[in-house]
Structure 1
Amino acid sequence: MITERLNELFWIYLVGINLYTLILMYYDKRQARKREWRIPESQILLAGVLGGGPAGLISQQLFRHKTKKPKFYVAFIIGSVVFCGILYFYFTNYYG
């Protein structure tokens, strides 16, 4: 019972943090085009580092946003490593 719930939470977190990062990047780009209030960079960076790196890297190319700022690339790479680490931990502990 507990293992099933943790399994669900695991996938909800990984999908959620990546979806959240994608939405942040999309919304920030849209706001930039309209020259209106923007998402704080720290919020996007934090989402990326906490596992949203894959969505951040995809968003950079998809929306052509934050591509000239190395700190975003680094944060998204770190977040991708975190994402892969979480997947590795999950699959080695539950299926290994």
Structure 2
Amino acid sequence: MCESELGSPNWREPLDCVRASELCNQNSQCSSRYRIMRQCLSGGDKERSTMLASKECQRALEVLQDSPLYDCRCKRGMKKELQCLQNYWSIHMGLTEGKLTTQ
């Protein structure tokens, strides 16, 4: 099997975030880490930065960086655009803020 068939990150086409979330939910490790990440992002700024610095949230970030959610995209006017944007920001807010707390 060649790399492109394996879904190598360099070759895969970004999915919309609704589809990426569906794929993540089919994988027990991805879905549990995604739930953890959403919990890490709940609360105010102070609570969120404390949560994101925790080892559990950092592990969730690491797993999600290798998931379809990491490269997902949304298109303006697409079906389920709001849901797509919510999925997009739940992962990218965690990635952005999580990196800031570990530096």
Bin the TM-score by the shorter chain. 0.3 to 0.5
Q: Which has the higher contact order (CA 8 A, sep 6+)?
A: 2
| Structure with the larger helix share | 1
Q: Which has the larger radius of gyration?
A: 1
Q: With the length of structure 1 as denominator, give the TM-score of the two structures.
A: 0.36
What's the TM-score, normalizing by structure 2? 0.34
